[in-house]
Structure 1
């Protein structure tokens, strides 16, 4: 079983690894596209106003642009240490075993799909970003001028995920799932339930619940083969989970 996570906008600074080496990353077939995007981000960083517009940044976030300028020279850190925030706090990757960390993948707007232990630099590029001058479909309404990254990644990530032999549990948020839908993957939505039984979809707080679920899945010795197996694993761990479709699960939490 493999668990696919979204990245985070926030990323830890620094690192002890050598500068970016694409050959050190999982899924080497993605390296040509990775190189194109890294080179484009480095070039874009030379134009600070254009970077702000393309990446939806304010002047107070110019340090993010500086990170992009140094993508080829800055130190790296394992992906699960690089990404920070609510989901990764709940996941607590530092306390996971090496085997558990190897079951975790991260979908990145810059690198496509990386293993949890892959060494990557700090960067800024979101799933909904659009780099100026890219040829292809136009970006979604509300994004910056340019073209959607899903135009670039979808033809590569969809077949890659389809070829995975293990069951895939897809915990990505919408913009990252759109980069390369994983057909047949088990998904998990989070709903909050009020005392009267009414439910609403959990938005920001769902990251914590998904991080906890990812930890349980990666740490388990069980290897479910379908949504029913994932449901049983999570229920046995004390979570309230329901099946909402052949491949869809819902985690119900109190409001």
Structure 2
């Protein structure tokens, strides 16, 4: 089983330490693409209209300025750098040592800058969305798609993929539908379901934590994932097709 996560919008910068070591990152075949994105991001972030070009507000000026010196910025494990609702609910630091080891091997973060990394990969904090278009790179989801297909198809072969990514990041890589289960979260009032974006992030983080904490073998099929999810939530499984992944719907109480 592998759990696919989006990065958090906000990042927690490392207080000190060494800069990113490109040779130590997972999926080293992505390094050429990483270097191209990093160079373009640094150029854009140094532009006088950088905030507008990156689609962020003035409150993120310091984050954008950090983009210009990412080669030298201190790096930290991805599970420390990524923060926010989903990652707070996952709660890596409060997992046991064996559960953290499981997370390091089972979680893949799909990133606009790094393509794909694991929790133990050490990276600096950065500001970049997969929806952004960069000079000489173009729309990042389109740029990353062939590279991620090459890098991840073999690495994920035979694994059940629990896809907790947002739509912005699902556009960057389409895993084989037969082995993929997309996770949706709804509230239901008087029989009417509504998507709950904030609680969806939280619940996906809780689901990841539950899968990392529960005893026994990790789910290996969509049906086993449904059974594991039903240990904590009301859930249903919608079977996929040759072109669409399976879907796990988690329904939150009123």
SS in 1 for 2:183: strand
Shift, 1:34, TM fit: 0.5
TM-score of the superposed pair, with normalisation by structure 2: 0.89
SS in 1 for 2:211: helix
TM-score of the superposed pair, with normalisation by structure 1: 0.89
CA distance in 2, matches of 1:131, 1:239: 41
Decide whether the 8 Å contact of 1:127 with 1:149 is kept in 2.
yes
Residue in structure 2 matched with residue 204 of structure 1 by the alignment: 198
Q: Greater shift after overlay, 157-166 or 124-133?
A: 157-166
CA displacement 1:139-194 (0-9 Å, x = unmatched): xxxxxxxx311221000112433221322111100010101112221111001111
Q: Structure 2: which 5+ residue stretches go unaligned?
A: 241-245
Decide whether the 8 Å contact of 1:104 with 1:218 is kept in 2.
no
CA distance in 2, matches of 1:253, 1:77: 34
SS in 2 for 1:52: helix
* Residue pairs, 1:105-120, within 5 angstroms: 105-120=108-123
Shift, 1:132, TM fit: 2.6
Shift, 1:67, TM fit: 1.2
Corresponding pairs, count: 240
CA distance in 1, matches of 2:15, 2:111: 18
CA displacement 1:33-59 (0-9 Å, x = unmatched): 00111111122222131x212211223
CA distance in 2, matches of 1:10, 1:63: 12
Residue in structure 2 matched with residue 232 of structure 1 by the alignment: 227
Shift, 1:5, TM fit: 0.5
SS in 1 for 2:198: coil
Q: Structure 1: which 5+ residue stretches go unaligned?
A: 135-146
SS in 2 for 1:205: helix
CA displacement 1:102-155 (0-9 Å, x = unmatched): 211111000000001110001011011111343xxxxxxxxxxxx311221000
Residue in structure 2 matched with residue 27 of structure 1 by the alignment: 27
Does 1:177 pair with 2:170? yes
CA distance in 1, matches of 2:151, 2:222: 21
Q: Greater shift after overlay, 99-108 or 10-19?
A: 10-19
Residue in structure 2 matched with residue 251 of structure 1 by the alignment: 250
- 4+ long deviations beyond 3 Å: none
Decide whether the 8 Å contact of 1:3 with 1:218 is kept in 2.
no
CA distance in 1, matches of 2:17, 2:184: 35
Q: Greater shift after overlay, 4-13 or 216-225?
A: 216-225
Pick the aligned partner of 1:101 from 74, 96, 103.
Answer: 103
Does 1:215 pair with 2:206? no
CA distance in 1, matches of 2:207, 2:149: 24
